[in-house]
Amino acid sequence: MIDKIGTEIMIGGIRFKSNVLMAPLAGYTCFPFRLMVERLGAGSAYTEMVSSDALKYNDRATSKLLYTDDRERIKCVQLLGSVPTVFERAAKSELLAKFDIIDINMGCPVPNVIKAGEGSALLDDIPRASKIIEACKRSGKVVSVKCRIGMNRQRIVIEEFARMCEASGADMITVHGRTRDMMYEGRPLYEYIKLAKQSVSIPVFANGGIYSKEDAEEMMEKTGADGIMLARYGFENPLIFSELTGTPSCDTKYSLLMEQLETAGECYDELYVLTYIKKLASYFMKKLPGTKQIKQRLYKCGNISELKNILGEIFDNKR
């Protein structure tokens, strides 16, 4: 089972160069980051979560989330919402015309999202979830679903939910192996991801609790999944994509940051670039000793030139 990591896979007629994907992360998986992880071996990376309802306003913030160009080989957008007709309108809109795959968020556990009947709340409304998938499929695009195994241990619905996804037309499912009330803590419940895989014939990807190559191997071995989807650790250490897929790379965290600075500068204004690179650098610094003071300087930095100097101090050749 382990040797399946990093292999090619077909999803809805689209060939992915590897079965190691980058999950959508609100505030993080912008276009430059998606380009980087694809170069490092990721089969694809999803946009940040986009409100299906917000698409009708076509505001500046949404435009930034949807930024892409031909350098991105497979373009995947993630939508959040609860109204099937709104999803259909969004999926068919000109704003999403350039995207190959629509992923439907049925796993976000955040309270405000749940109160709106979105994200994980759809695990408790299977008929509505089915209508949302069918609505997105009417766009003619490949559709994937990202979900959790249930709201809590007493309400685990993943077997029924996975079958519904396939019956409604989904081309792939990504199962986060935690319940909604577990949020992002605790060991993934591998047996329920395995149950989802055994319940359907479409590809099932496993997500949650992957922080190393060993975790990835264990996830594949214990679930029988067709691939894995990395989340926060993919942002903390993008080089994991190279390691998992065998993609050659001479990159360091410093070279990756410089690459990201250049790419982000082509796409966004300086304020956005500063904010994004500071977040990325902070993740990269997580296990570096003695960085507290320099991290404070990083946060206060007000221009690109100063930012480059600080990054050079942090990520020198010794680190």
Residue found under tokens 């966004």: 268
Inter-residue contact 61 to 268 (CB < 8 Å): no
Residue found under tokens 């897929």: 245
Inter-residue contact 279 to 30 (CB < 8 Å): no
Q: Could you write out the DSSP letters of every residue in 140-202?
A: TSEEEEEEESBSSTT-B-HHHHHHHHHHTT-SEEEEESS-GGGTT-S---HHHHHHHHHH-SS
108 is catalytic: yes
The DSSP secondary-structure symbol of 47 reads: E
Inter-residue contact 52 to 84 (CB < 8 Å): no
CB atoms within 10 A of CB 300: 10
| Tokens of residue 20, six digits | 């190691």
110: closest CA among 47, 180, 209, 24?
Answer: 180
Inter-residue contact 2 to 220 (CB < 8 Å): yes
Distances in Å between the alpha carbon of 303 and those of 4, 128, 152, 206, 254?
Answer: 44, 47, 46, 40, 18
Inter-residue contact 168 to 161 (CB < 8 Å): no
Inter-residue contact 280 to 235 (CB < 8 Å): yes
Q: Which of 108, 136, 165, 301 is catalytic?
A: 108
Which residues are known to be catalytic? 108
